[in-house]
Amino acid sequence: MENSHVWTVRDVLNWTSQKFAGLELPTPLLDAQLLIGSVLSLSKVQIYTQLDRPLIPLERAQLRELVRRRLLGEPVAYLLNQKSWHNLDLFVDKRVLVPRPETETLLDVVLAISRSSSQKPNRILDLCTGSGCLAIALAKSFPEAQVDAVDVSAEALEIAKLNATRNEVSNVVFHQGDATSADFLTSLRSDSEFEFVVSNPPYVSEAEWLECDPSVRDFEPKLALVGGQRGWDMPAQLLNALTAAGILSHAKIVGLELGVTHPSVLAETLLPELTPEWCAQPWTEFSCQRPAWEFPTQQWFAVRDYAQQSRFLFLRRA
């Protein structure tokens, strides 16, 4: 962007989106809109009603810096320190993963099962909470429940607490601890049981992490991504700990987001040993668009995402 040229909103929108498209970034126009809107304090609609507005030198300089960082692969959510997710306004930076649409699907299925069975929990457990997106959304959906959110990272919990305040949620209790420790999980139970358990644990394998897009590998926290050599090592340890702590035997709804094919792998290798009483029925997979009342009870099952990939592991007790 040359300083001698009078740059308008139209100019920077076209130039920026073309620059992003040239690098084959997945959403070049949307990225350009978000960055321009942030610098100029404009909504998407306002951008197009002010296409002839000239940018002052300070605005050009601010936009130039954001574009430079985006061209290096830094996620837009980190550039703006903001992510809209399931009606939440979340602060995000390099201390936490950028919340994904897949995790919204996990939340939607949990809420649908709850509605279909008229279950309103008193206590909810969210393991590996990260930005706090799941815990906060569930806290807003069930304002009379206590939500216990766990993460091993003190830095992630700083962000999660900020997001709870930002979204005016006061019924989340945050804990720093190891979600794969049965002793730690037992200490959380106190005098009441967790009726809902959710988790989006690290599930990328070491090999997959090396092949990740640079915008993920170079910027998002590896601790929150990699679940061991096989990817499902960490989820398996988490399920072992939940079983040993006696939490699985009381939970009414359990939902985990995992890597593609991981639900069936765990159904073959781990779940029959941990919970044989819930593995007697044939293994089943369902679309996330299936009516919740058709999901089975008293057994583990998988739910496919909108791309029809088996990604979620569920247990529904009643």
Q: For residue range 169-191, list pLDDT tens digits in order.
A: 999 999 999 999 999 999 998 87
Q: Residues for the chain: how many in total?
A: 318
CA angle 232, 160, 263 (to 5 degrees): 20
Average pLDDT of the residues of the chain: 95
The token pair that represents 96 in the structure block = 């936490």
For residue 222, is pLDDT > 90?
A: yes
pLDDT recorded at residue 69: 96
pLDDT recorded at residue 1: 55
pLDDT above 70 covers a percentage of the chain that reads: 99
pLDDT recorded at residue 191: 75
pLDDT recorded at residue 6: 85
Which H/E stretch holds residue 149? strand 146-151
Strands (E), 26-97: 83-85, 88-90
Q: Three-class SS of residue 87?
A: coil
Distance of CA 215 to the CA centre of its chain: 16
Nearest to 80 by CA among 35, 25, 41: 35
For residue 3, is pLDDT > 60?
A: no
297 secondary structure, DSSP code: S
Q: Using pLDDT thresholds of 50, 70 and 90, give the confidence band for residue 11.
A: very high
The pLDDT tens digits for 21-75 are: 999 998 999 999 999 999 999 999 999 999 999 999 999 999 999 999 999 999 9
pLDDT recorded at residue 118: 86
Tally of CB atoms within 10 A around 294:
8
Q: Using pLDDT thresholds of 50, 70 and 90, give the confidence band for residue 4.
A: low
How many distinct helices (H) and strands (E) make up the chain? 14, 10
Fill in the amino acid letter for 31: D
Task: State the Cα–Cα distance between residues 108 and 298, nearest whole angstrom.
Answer: 20
Residues 281/260, Cβ–Cβ less than 8 Å: no
For residue 289, is pLDDT > 60?
A: yes
Task: State the Cα–Cα distance between residues 147 and 126, nearest whole angstrom.
Answer: 7
CA angle 203, 311, 160 (to 5 degrees): 55
pLDDT recorded at residue 280: 86
